[in-house]
Amino acid sequence: MEEEYESMFMQLIIGLQGSAWMLLGKIANPLTGKIEKNLEAAKATIDTLMMLKEKTKGNLTKLEEDYINNTITQLQLNYAEEKNRKEQ
C-alpha cells in the first residue's frame, strides 16, 4: 500500500506541476494547443504545492521530498521571471 501511495502522491505533484507550467505560459494547453498564460492561477497552484509540502512534512520519502522541493523551486523561479516580464 505504501508503494501505491507514493506513486499516487508523485502523480498528484506531477499533475500540479504540469498545470503550473501551462499557466505560466511555458507549455501549450494540450486541449487547445495554445499558450494560455494566467499568472494568478499559476501562483495559486504553486501555493497549493507549498501547502502540500507543509502538510506532509515528516511523512515523505526522500524521493518525494526532493521532488516536491525541486518542483516548487523551479516553479517559483519561473513565476518570478514571468511576473517581472509582465511588469516591464
Q: Which domains does the chain have, with CATH numbers?
A: 2-87 (1.20.58)
| Mean per-residue pLDDT, 8-31 | 96
Scored b (16 or more CB within 10 A) or e, 23-43 reads bbbeeeeeeeeeeeeeeeebb
Tell me what percent of the residues of the chain surpass a pLDDT of 90.
91
pLDDT of residue 81: 95
Residue 87 has what pLDDT?
A: 72
Q: What is the per-residue pLDDT for 52?
A: 98
Grid cell at residue 81:
521571471
Single pTM value for the model: 0.92
Average of pLDDT values for 42-70?
97
Mean pLDDT of 18-32: 95
